């Protein structure tokens, strides 16, 4: 995958190997907040996980930095997350969205994640550049639908498990070589529950180095394009 590595406001094109993609769920440091998220899902019929954090593998072909994604149904929604690219002895960080089919999620979480493309920005930071002030990073998402544009999520990286813990969570669940692995971090709470919006704006802010990675994407429903 071709991306731009941002260092001191300079962009360097690099190509990242992608061999595996993992989405992590229930990854909050505050287990009270994790329980709130589990209860939120229970309201729409999603069963509680056997343990937390939970790791969901998805196909690598779902990874995309495209400005438009296609979903089969209309009840899909995104979640802003930081995205880790493990490349040998280097780790790169970006922002992305774990778009998920909320209707299918009631039947199988892992299948619901497989149904939707996994969005990621085409810019990355070197994890070493943000390691020491990691907890100050901020994740945000805005949605746009018939009600207009509004803030949907806003929370610090400190709300989620640290990077080493996320990597160890994946190692706990698989014997696969993680060189070339892409890890979605899990998400911060929403302001209004799930929203099936048309447009999603994602942002990862570094207030220490005063920079941001942003990405916007639109969701089109294949189901709604068909005649009744």
For 2-225, which CATH class? alpha beta
CA distance 179 to 198: 34
Torsion of CA 147, 83, 211, 69, to 10 degrees: -40
Instruction: Of 46, 2, 20, 18, give the one whose Cα is nearest residue 171.
Output: 20
User: Which residue ranges make up each domain of the chain?
Assistant: 2-225
Give the model's pLDDT for residue 122: 98
pLDDT of residue 73: 85
Beta-carbon contacts of 131 under 8 Å, excluding residues fewer than 6 positions away, are 163
Predicted pLDDT at 106:
84
- What does pLDDT average to in each consecutive run of 10 residues of the chain (228 residues)? 92 97 92 77 76 93 97 93 97 97 89 96 98 98 96 97 96 96 95 92 98 97 80
Q: How many helical (H) and strand (E) elements, i.e. helices and strands, does the chain have?
A: 5, 17
Confirm if 15 and 1 have CB atoms less than 8 A apart.
yes
* DSSP-derived 3-state class of residue 108: coil
Residue with tokens 């990621």: 120
The confidence score (pLDDT) of residue 45 equals: 75
pTM: 0.93
Q: For 107-129, what is each residue's pLDDT tens digit?
A: 888 999 999 999 999 999 999 99
Neighbours of 110 (CB within 10 A): 15
Residue 186's region, left for phi above 0, alpha for psi from -120 to 50, else beta, is: left
Given this model, what pLDDT does residue 181 score?
98
Q: What is the pLDDT of residues 80-109, one digit of tens each?
A: 999 999 999 999 999 999 999 998 988 888
**Cα dihedral value 72, 74, 75, 77, nearest 10:** 80
């Amino acid at each position: 995958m071709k991306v731009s590595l941002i260092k001191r406001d300079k962009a360097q094109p690099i190509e990242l190997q992608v061999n595996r993609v993992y989405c992590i769920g229930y990854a909050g440091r505050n287990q009270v907040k994790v329980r709130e998220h589990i209860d939120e899902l229970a309201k729409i019929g999603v069963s509680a996980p056997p343990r937390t954090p939970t790791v969901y593998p998805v196909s690598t072909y779902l990874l995309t930095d495209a400005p438009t994604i296609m979903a089969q149904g209309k009840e899909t929604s995104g979640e802003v997350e930081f995205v880790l690219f493990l490349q040998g002895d280097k780790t790169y960080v970006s922002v992305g969205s774990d778009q998920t089919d909320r209707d299918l999620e009631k039947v199988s979480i892992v299948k619901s994640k497989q149904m939707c493309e996994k969005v990621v920005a085409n810019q990355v930071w070197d994890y070493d550049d943000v390691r020491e002030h990691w907890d100050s990073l901020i994740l945000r998402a805005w949605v746009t639908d018939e009600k207009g544009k509004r803030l949907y999520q806003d929370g610090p990286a400190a709300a989620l498990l640290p990077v080493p813990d996320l990597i160890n969570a994946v190692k706990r669940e698989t014997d696969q070589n993680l060189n070339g692995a892409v890890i979605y971090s899990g998400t911060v709470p929403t302001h209004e529950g799930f929203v099936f919006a048309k447009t999603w704006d994602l942002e990862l802010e570094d207030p220490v180095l005063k920079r941001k990675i942003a990405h916007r994407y639109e969701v089109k429903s294949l189901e709604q394009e068909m005649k009744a």
